[in-house]
Structure formats: structure tokens, C-alpha cells
Structure 1
Amino acid sequence: MEEFLEVVDRDGRIISIAPRSIIHGNPSMLHKVVHVLVFNSKGELLLQKRASHKDVAPGKWDTSVGGHIMPGEDILTAAKREMLEELGIVSENLHFLYTYIHSNNYESELVYTYCTVHEGPFSFNKNEIEEIAFWSIEKMQQLLNFDFFSDNFKYEFLRYLSIYGFMPFWFSNSLKELTGSPLFSGDPNFLKNF
């Protein structure tokens, strides 16, 4: 059965609902997605290598977790659902980072990004993902100009670095210390299009 998605404006207001097959391939149809950056206590970021049959960025390394927000679905609920579907994990400790619009010649997405710390184990979806691995920030920076990563991840990673690169919040318990900050309020509208 085909997936249906909300077509939205820049503020996330619903314009219409359309099949994924119509939305993908038409960058004028903005739709909502959620990303979760999963760090370990060493500050490494979990990446997934997309399956070779995927219509977007096959065989490329991509964001820890990413997926569409279903019609009527709450953003945080979508993030938790995608974590369970893609990595087989449940996390109640998700913290909102930012939102942005990413467009390319294939699609346009209104992205809501969260982060969490999780050491595993992971039981990833082998139909969607070829492999997973933790990467150091330095290694990702060194390989950014090569053909390892999806276009979407490159954009996400550069945005993350531009906002949080100077903040070592991903280490050990630092994330817990920041949870009182408005940046981690859990409100995806807090930094809309920051």
C-alpha cells in the first residue's frame, strides 16, 4: 500500500495530502520528515548505510534515523516510531535541536531534528539499512567532500556543526545538563528555520 504524506508550507501548515510517488520527484511539494542524531558517550555519531534499492541516496551513509511524518502524526511520536522501525530501540530521552528546509532536484523536506545518546545494542532494519556504524566527527569532516554520504546527510551535518560544533554536549552526561535549556525544550517550533 502506498504511503501518503502531508504537503505543507514553510511553517508546516498542511496544504494537501498526496501519495509519496507524486511528492518524491517533485521538489515543489514540501513534506515533513524527522531526523534523530544518535550519539554514543564518546561523542561519535551513529550513521546508517542506506540499502542499495532505496530511491533516495542508495548505498550512501546517512543520518542515524530519518523518516516521513505521517498525516496527523505528532513530530516526537514520529521520531520515536522511526527509531524503533530503523534501529530497534526505544528512547524517551529525545531532545529537539532545530528545524530547516532542505531541497534538491528530487524533493523538498521540512526537517525536524532531534538528538539522543544511546550505546546500543541496535537491531536495525535490514530491508532498509545495509549496515550501521559510529563515526567520529573528525572522520566525517575528513570524508565530507568524497562520495560517502547522502546529500541530505551532508546538509544535516553542516547545519549541526554550524550550530553545535563548539558545544561538546554529546559527551557523557553533558546532554543531561543541558536539558533545562530552551534549546532542548522539546518544542520543534522553538528554532523554526533558524
Structure 2
Amino acid sequence: MTTEEHVVLVDRDGQALGTAPKSEVHGRETPLHLAFSSYVFDHEGRVLLTRRADHKVTWPGVWTNSCCGHPLPGEPLAEAVGRRLSYELGLTVERVDLMLPTFAYRAVMANGIVEHELCPVYRATVSTPVAPNPEEVGETRWMPWKEFAEGVCSGLLAISPWCREQVPLLVELGADPMAWHPASPAALPPAARP
């Protein structure tokens, strides 16, 4: 018997308020909750893009960064990144680095469903081939970071709303994503600190 996955609810200061079933969180009144975004790079500096599965509740069929997800209550975020990359993309992560510890966003779909997340952003490096899980991912594509970042920042590349906000912040870290300096885990919101 599987138990339902729960997400961590947080206040504006990043303090944990409790948990709620993941299946009940995303709607028109989505409470702020803890999540993560990750950008997977290969050793050539290419970023892995994914198209969300067509049956996803939020932004179905939309292209986005490599993988997003929610840590389980008490689960360190870096471990959650590795767990979801394995589940969604069949990837074994070599390294996970915190890049944007306090990123948060709120976005509303045309049908009124809201995504509202305190969503630290991670860089992950891999050398294993991608094996997408069709329950989560409709399609994948590797792209040179510079080309991807320019496409997002110019508005020419259709991408998820959170990715549209994250990429300019990542670009500020430098032109070479493999040379970005990781942030300290101490900068994470309280609910996300190890």
C-alpha cells in the first residue's frame, strides 16, 4: 500500500507551517509550499530541457527546465533533487549544487490553477543517458546553455513561467554554468535547511 505524498507548507519567511497532501495543494487557492527546480548539465555544458507530460495538473505539455519537484517532509532538498531526477529522467546525479536559495514565484494558468512555490534552484551534473518516465515527461532535449538562456531572456523561447523568471537570475551568475559558485545551504529558507 502506498501512502499519499505530502508537501511542506511555508510562510513568507520560509518557516514550515505543516504539510498537506500533494494531490490537494494545486488549485485556485494554492498555498505557498516548498519545492525545488533543477537544471541538469552534461560535461559539454549543455542543459537538459523537458516537456511536461500532457496529463500534468500544472502547465501540461509545456517546455521547462530539467526537473522540478517537492521534497518530502524532512527530506533535504539536494536529496529530493537526486530522487526526482532518478524517477523522472532515469538519471544518476554526479553532483548537486545550490544556486538560487530563496527563489519563489506565483503563476496562474489560463484555467485559474495557481502554482505558488518557495523554490530553491539547483544545478546538477550527469553523465548517464536520459530515460524519461512518460508519467512525468513528454519529451527531452539537450541545448547549449548560451542558446537556451538567450532564447528565454529574449522571449523567443516558449517556456514555463518559473523557468522564465529563473534563467535571468542564473545568467547573472556568469556565462559558464559549470563555473557558477554554489550558494551556501545556510542561505536556504528555514523549512529547507538540513
C-alpha change, 1:93 and 1:82, in structure 2 (3 Å) is same
| Structure 2 Cα separation of the partners of residues 41 and 91 of structure 1 | 12
| Structure 1 Cα separation of the partners of residues 46 and 119 of structure 2 | 22
C-alpha change, 1:125 and 1:142, in structure 2 (3 Å) is same
| Structure 1 Cα separation of the partners of residues 96 and 31 of structure 2 | 28
Count of aligned residue pairs for this structure pair: 179
Deviation at 1:137, TM superposition (A): 3.2
Partner of 1:116, secondary structure, is: strand
- Per-residue CA deviation, residues 69-123 of structure 1 (Å, 9 max, x unaligned), is 1122111111111111111122241111112111123021011211122243111
- Per-residue CA deviation, residues 40-89 of structure 1 (Å, 9 max, x unaligned), is 23322101111111111111111111111112211111111111111112
Where structure 2 has 5 or more consecutive residues not aligned to the other structure, the ranges are 109-113, 190-194
Calculate the aligned-residue CA RMSD, in Å.
2.3
| Structure 1 Cα separation of the partners of residues 140 and 133 of structure 2 | 10
Q: Report what 1:139 is aligned to.
A: 147
Deviation at 1:2, TM superposition (A): 4.2
Alignment match of 1:111 (pick from 115, 119, 127): 119
The answer on whether the counterparts of 1:27 and 1:104 sit within 8 Å (CA) in structure 2 is no
Alignment match of 2:104 (pick from 101, 106, 109): 101
C-alpha change, 1:22 and 1:126, in structure 2 (3 Å) is closer
| Structure 1 Cα separation of the partners of residues 20 and 29 of structure 2 | 13
| Structure 1 Cα separation of the partners of residues 55 and 70 of structure 2 | 18
Partner of 1:155, secondary structure, is: helix
Q: Report what 2:167 is aligned to.
A: 157
| Structure 2 Cα separation of the partners of residues 134 and 27 of structure 1 | 35
Alignment match of 1:190 (pick from 168, 187, 190): 187
Q: Report what 1:54 is aligned to.
A: 56
- Per-residue CA deviation, residues 12-37 of structure 1 (Å, 9 max, x unaligned), is 32112222243212456111112221
| Structure 2 Cα separation of the partners of residues 2 and 146 of structure 1 | 39
Partner of 1:36, secondary structure, is: strand
The answer on whether the counterparts of 2:50 and 2:141 sit within 8 Å (CA) in structure 1 is yes
Partner of 2:129, secondary structure, is: coil
* Structure 1 counterpart of 2:63, one-letter code: W
TM-score, reference length from structure 1 = 0.80
C-alpha change, 1:28 and 1:85, in structure 2 (3 Å) is closer
Where structure 1 has 5 or more consecutive residues not aligned to the other structure, the ranges are none
Alignment match of 1:40 (pick from 28, 39, 42): 42
Runs ≥4 residues deviating over 3 A: none
Q: Report what 2:8 is aligned to.
A: 6
Q: Report what 1:126 is aligned to.
A: 134
